[in-house]
Structure formats: C-alpha cells, structure tokens
C-alpha cells in the first residue's frame, strides 16, 4: 500500500517518534473546457484517484525538511520558514514553500516548521496537475496541523495565488479547484467568472475514461501558455471597443461572429474564437451528459480537440497523433487533449470492450510515428483532499 510506503520512508529518514500524519490529494483531468478558465468561461474537470501522498510531522523549530520519493536523487532538501522565496534550484519544493508563503500572505502564518515526505502516482509534468496536487495537499496539511479556518474552496484560491505569485505561472483556477473540490464519480461544472459550480455525475455505462500520456514533457513556465493568455487579453480589449463584455466567456457564438472584426489580427481572432466556442461547447456538453447523451458529449470532445489544434494551436504532433489514432478505433466515443497542451495527455471515453485494442493500437501507432512509447491509464474519478492517518 502506498500510504504505508510513504510512512515507512518518512520513518527511515526522519525517525518514528512523535505524531506522523498522512494525507492524500488527487490529480485532475479536464473532460472539456480548455483554456477557458482565464477567459471567464466554463470548465468541466474531475479529480482522480491517483494523486499525491504526504507524510508529515510538526517540528518545534522553524526548519523545513522536504523529501520526494519521485525525486530520490535530490535527497532531503532543507529550508526554513524564514526562507520563503522562489529559488530555481529548490525544484519541486517551491510548490509546498509557495503554499506556506501564500497562507502567510493571507494572515495565516505557520507557527513552526515541519518534515514532509511526498510520493505522487501521477506522472510528473503530464498535464494531470501534479503541481496543483502538491499545492493542495500542502494547504490541507497546513489547515490540519495549525488549525487554520479555511474551506476547500479557499485552498483552491490560495493554491492559485501561490502558483501565480510565488511560482510565476499565470494559471487559471481550474486545476486547484478541481483537486480541492473533487467528488467521487462526479465532474465539476465550474463557471470561472463567478466560481459558481455544480457537480455532475459521470455515468458512462459500459465505457471508461482512458488517459494517454504522450511522455513529451512540458512545463507551463516554458510553454506558450502565458503568450496565449495575453493574446486573449488583447483580443478582449479590442472587442470591448465594439461590445460591452467583461470576458470572452460572455459571448455566444453568434455575438462573436457579429463583433469579431473588431479584432485586428487573424491569429488573435482565432484564439478568441476558440475561447468563445469552447465555452459554449462545454455548456452544451454538460447538458448532453445530463440528458444521458454520451455520444453527443464525445462529439463535443472531438470538436474541442480540433479547435485546440487549429485555432488555439496548443496541441503538437504528439497529442494530435494520440487523438487522431484514437478516433480511428471503433468504440471510442470521444478523444481530446487535456490540460494546457504542448505535450502532456489526452483523455478519451472508450467502450469497455475497446479499451484493450485502444491501448494496443494507439500505443503501436504512436511509437512508430513519434519514436518513443506513450503510457495509458484507465482512471477513476475520486474525492478531494483527505487525511488518511
Ligand atoms: C493549465 C492551467 C489551467 C488551465 C489549463 C488549460 O492546466 O493550470 O488553469 O488554464 O491549463 O485549460
């Protein structure tokens, strides 16, 4: 059991005296609604049963000791509550440090340091939000260890704040929200303009969610993520000269077509088109799911990929190959890239009997074309963060 291994590793490194607590926070996959969360649109992500395990013990001084079982070579990384600044060489520990810093900024200062061991069974840098998972597990730990009065929604907002302000990644709210607010068997239909949300059961009678990991590593910082954001911001300010809106998500497709010429550059017009149409697709997809029309939901997933490929241009040959090979297989209801793009994963809804041929055929075609293998995960939708022991 993973929980036991994490605790044992903690005891080997840091001793077994005192109270050791164990926690878990999930990763996430977004079913539809991509690059809409910083455009005031809707998203539809869910938490997974894979995620980040953490063993922790409070200290009596201000030291922090961090160890990740995923980055064993780095060994124990030491810091302190007096050194809460971003440091490139601090690697993954910038995520927990960013959370401690962000809590402090919100008036919740940790009164002592702690020792922390992490293990994640989400593939790193795959687009399943391993970093947001580390942020939320750390936030949950801070709340529990020091008795801070924060809701899970607060954890999501603090997580995004730390990612934006400490780690310098200009992400939206989707990842941290999906993880902090996860519910087993449900996706979260979130309006990022208002933070209103509803849980929608994902009932795929006779089908599974399959994640295909391209193994092309990406990081939001070095990707074109921030560039896409600013293209959308510029397009919005151009549109605002023609129509009264506060975000691209305020527009219907018809309104976009009516006002799109206010955007003076072809590329920017395509970016804005994606943001508007993807938001409307997400609303339609959730309605289709509620009407038990999984087929329609799948068609909208496919349309989402095409738009991300042609208009938003965030896919690349690896993700396109995974999706286009998936579309060839009987029993694939829908398939698209998920997350920021530029590498990472795709998400597909695949009929039970097609899962094995899917993995075999997409896997073989991908390796032949790209030159290295993809990984496949049949996933389950899980709950948000939890204390395990
Ligand atoms: C990343 C960001 C999210 C969201 C997606 C794209 O995962 O962290 O906020 O913008 O990309 O939908």
DSSP, residue by residue, 167-186: S-----SHHHHHHHT--TTE
Give the distance (Å) from ligand 1 centre to CA of residue 28. 11
What CATH number is given to the structural domain containing 198? 3.30.230.10
Q: Which atom of ligand 1 is nearest to the CA of 37?
A: 10
Hey, which of 31, 35, 226 would you mutate to test ligand 1's pocket, going by the most ligand atoms within 8 Å of its Cβ? 35
Whole-angstrom CA distances from 285 to 31, 43, 107, 168, 229 are 10, 10, 40, 32, 24
Distance CA 354, CA 35 (A): 30
Tell me if 39 sits within 8 A of 231, measured CB to CB: no
- Whether 359 maps to a domain, the answer reads no
Tell me if 13 sits within 8 A of 76, measured CB to CB: yes
pLDDT (0 to 100) of residue 126:
80
**Closest alpha carbon to 181 in 26, 343, 298:** 26
Give the distance (Å) from ligand 1 centre to CA of residue 341. 9
Q: What is the mean pLDDT of each run of 10 residues along the chain (389 residues)?
A: 97 97 98 98 98 98 98 96 97 98 98 98 86 98 98 98 94 98 98 98 95 81 82 98 98 98 98 98 98 97 99 96 98 97 95 98 98 97 98
- Whether 10 maps to a domain, the answer reads yes
- Whether 372 maps to a domain, the answer reads no
- Whether 58 maps to a domain, the answer reads yes
Q: Which residue has the tokens 């998920």?
A: 338
C-alpha torsion angle, residues 144, 146, 147, 153 (rounded to 10): -60
- Whether 62 maps to a domain, the answer reads yes
* 12 CB-contact burial (10 Å; exposed 0-12 / middle 13-18 / buried 19+): exposed
Distance CA 224, CA 231 (A): 11
Whole-angstrom CA distances from 57 to 54, 101, 121 are 10, 19, 22
Q: Which atom of ligand 1 is nearest to the CA of 340?
A: 11
- Whether 93 maps to a domain, the answer reads yes
Whole-angstrom CA distances from 299 to 69, 86, 135, 183, 187 are 40, 43, 34, 25, 18
Question: What's the whole-model pTM score?
Answer: 0.97
Give the distance (Å) from ligand 1 centre to CA of residue 262. 27
- Whether 111 maps to a domain, the answer reads yes
Domain that includes residue 61, residue range: 2-202+383-387
- Whether 294 maps to a domain, the answer reads no
Tokens found for residue 176 = 């941290």
**Is ligand 1 within 6 A of the CB of residue 336?**
no
How many domains does the structure of the chain reveal? 1
């Amino acid at each position: 059991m993973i929980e036991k291994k994490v605790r044992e590793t903690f005891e080997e490194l840091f001793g077994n005296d005192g109270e050791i607590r164990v926690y878990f926070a999930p990763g996430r996959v977004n079913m539809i609604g991509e690059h809409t969360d910083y455009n005031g649109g809707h998203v539809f992500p869910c938490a997974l049963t894979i995620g980040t395990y953490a063993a922790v013990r409070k200290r009596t001084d201000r030291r922090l000791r961090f160890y990740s079982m995923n980055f064993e070579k780095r060994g124990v990384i030491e810091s302190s509550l007096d050194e809460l600044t971003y440091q490139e060489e601090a690697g993954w520990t910038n995520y927990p440090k960013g959370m401690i810093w962000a809590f402090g900024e919100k008036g919740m200062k940790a009164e002592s340091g702690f020792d922390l061991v992490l293990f994640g069974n989400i593939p790193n840098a795959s687009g399943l939000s391993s970093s947001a998972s580390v942020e939320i597990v750390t936030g949950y730990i801070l709340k529990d260890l020091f008795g801070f009065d924060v809701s899970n929604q607060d954890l999501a907002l603090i997580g995004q704040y730390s990612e934006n302000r400490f780690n310098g990644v200009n992400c939206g709210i989707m990842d941290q929200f999906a993880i902090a607010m996860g519910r087993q068997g449900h996706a979260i239909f979130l309006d990022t303009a208002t933070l209103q949300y509803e849980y929608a059961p994902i009932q795929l009678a006779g089908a599974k969610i399959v994640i295909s990991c391209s193994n092309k590593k990406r990081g939001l910082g070095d990707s074109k993520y921030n560039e896409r954001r600013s293209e959308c911001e510029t397009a919005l300010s151009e549109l605002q000269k023609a129509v009264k809106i506060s975000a691209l998500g305020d527009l219907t497709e018809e309104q976009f077509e009516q006002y799109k010429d206010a955007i003076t550059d072809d590329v920017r017009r395509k970016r804005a088109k994606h943001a508007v149409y993807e938001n409307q697709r997400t609303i339609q997809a959730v309605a289709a799911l509620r009407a038990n029309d999984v087929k329609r939901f799948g068609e909208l997933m496919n349309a989402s990929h095409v738009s991300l490929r042609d208009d938003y241009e965030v896919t690349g040959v690896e993700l396109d190959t995974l999706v286009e090979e998936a579309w060839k297989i009987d029993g694939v209801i829908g398939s698209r890239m998920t997350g920021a793009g530029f590498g990472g994963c795709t998400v597909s809804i695949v009929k039970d009997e097609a899962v094995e041929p899917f993995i075999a055929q997409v896997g073989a075609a991908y390796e032949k074309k790209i030159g290295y293998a993809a990984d496949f995960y049949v996933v389950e939708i899980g709950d948000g963060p939890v204390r395990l022991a």
